Amino acid sequence: MSGRQAAPASSTCRITKTNATPPKGMKTSKSQEAGAKQNEIAPEPARPTPTRTVLIAVTGRATAVLTETIWALAKEKKPVIPDDIICITTKSGAGWIQSELDSPLKTWGEKSVLQSLRESILGERKAAVDRRLMLGATRVIELPNPVTGRSEPAEDLRTVADNEAAADFILDVVRSVAGEHADTQVIALIAGGRKTMGALLHAAMSLLGRRGDRVLHVLVDDPSDVLPGFYFPGQPVQEIIVRDGRKLKAKELKISLAEVPFVPLWKLVKKAIGKGPASFMSLTRKVGDEVESLLREDVRLVIRRSLPEVFVNEVLVKLSVWEYAILHHLAEAAIKATPAKASYADAVDAVKVSAKAIYDSRSSGTDWRAKLCDSVKADFSDLSEEWLIKKLDSLRAKLKKHDSTEPLCACLPERGRWSLEVRPALISFRD
């Protein structure tokens, strides 16, 4: 294989919302069923058959990844011939595209590599009139220069600020052809350029890509790290001399495309874009908030009265008496629609009242509820904001041990909000 690394097998996935059932023996109330139905995501309408295909590639020194990919797409069982080709690169990368792919070569009959590639795929006569496989103006990443007060072509991406600017640039390019353009299929090639550029393009496709779009990596079936002079198997100059001195025929080399999985989040992004600025960083944060919101909406919580235990999405979690008391208090407040407190400090008195009610319900000195006074005064007067923070931290640590219980962490109190963000219809108590 060439130096281009293999990628995972093809698969794409999307976030779906499932409505968990309560533990055995528990009945679902009509209000819970109604709430669950209201919370379902409507099936995504079928995407119209694309009438246009755009290949977006990040490129660097190895410009051949572009021509190899175009060739391999055209040779798939169901041939794919992009209408437009967009290259995202640096200032030096643009120079390599111009000199290696877009300049006439004497040994290639005074044709450029791209001209020869189009003729090999489309046919010489058809290539002269066909509007497919059109390479647009190279998109050179621009970086802000505080000294000049202008954005300038990037020579390289060396700093965190450089990569943040590149992320916004790549996102804007993908947004120009993906997102709302349902009639356009986007194929993203992440094999070229800096590794960061490929990672950013992959992330941009997760944010703006849809089902049916593709993310690809390209592989050449030869053990050499470098194949100088090789661009595609049908090229006019067939002899390739590799680094170890061997001579190969271009037509003998096999090109493979690896489908790279990505999660198409476009439905969530549409909501996030409507809520403010859409830079790469702000958009990822907003989508993260939307995902957390979805997770919170599906959390089911069952609290036992007879033991310091709860079921979170049907998974049993055993709690300390104070973890239980705090969660019990929060669940009761959520069911009663008690307004959220503005801080942990504001919640101390309410937690004292709730804990005392649990303590007073003990049946004997050996009852587990009696342990509420093992580490605090009998009147709970020494409860504090720090105490609540400590117990919530230990509760979060337990919840994070299981994938099914971790979503409850996002529902627990946070700075500036003391409340349990679980829908009341999905909270219940049992003996």
The reported pLDDT for the residue numbered 291 is 77
- Please state which of the ranges 288-292, 338-342, 416-420 shows the lowest mean pLDDT: 288-292
Residue 303: which H helix or E strand, with range? strand 301-304
The pLDDT score that the predictor gives to residue 22 is 45
Q: Residue 74 has which token pair?
A: 């055209």
Query: How do residues 133-142 score in pLDDT, each as one tens digit?
Result: 999 999 999 9
Residue 424 to residue 32: CA distance in whole angstroms: 8
CA distances for 160 relative to 100, 163, 203, 343, 380, angstroms: 30, 5, 16, 35, 49
**According to the model, what pLDDT value does residue 45 have?**
57
Q: Quick check: 201 and 170 in contact, CB under 8 A?
A: yes
Q: At what angle do helices 321-335 and 344-360 cross, to 10 degrees?
A: 110
Q: Quick check: 227 and 237 in contact, CB under 8 A?
A: no
Average pLDDT, the chain: 85
316 bridge partner residues: 311
Q: What is the pLDDT of residues 286-323, one digit of tens each?
A: 888 777 777 777 899 999 999 999 999 999 999 999 99
Per-residue model confidence (pLDDT) at position 245:
79
68-98 pLDDT per residue, tens:
999 999 999 999 999 999 999 999 999 999 9
pLDDT tens, 359-417? 989 888 788 998 988 878 877 888 889 989 999 999 999 999 998 999 899 899 988 99
> Which range among 95-104, 172-181, 315-324 shows the weakest confidence by mean pLDDT?
172-181
Using a cut of 0.95, tell me whether the model's pTM lies above it: no
For residue 276, give every residue at least 6 positions away whose Cβ sits within 8 Å of its Cβ, in sequence order, or none: 282, 286
Kindly state the helix (H) or strand (E) to which residue 140 belongs, with its residue range.
strand 139-140
pLDDT score for 279: 85
pLDDT of residue 38: 44
Q: DSSP of 78-102, one letter per residue?
A: S----SEEEEEE-HHHHHHIIIIIS
- Tens-digit pLDDT profile for residues 16-32: 333 334 444 444 444 44
Average pLDDT over every residue of 273-287: 74
pLDDT of residue 9: 38
What is the per-residue pLDDT for 269?
A: 81
Distances (CA, A) of 404 to 268, 275, 284, 299, 311: 22, 29, 23, 9, 10
Q: Supply the pLDDT for residue 41.
A: 44
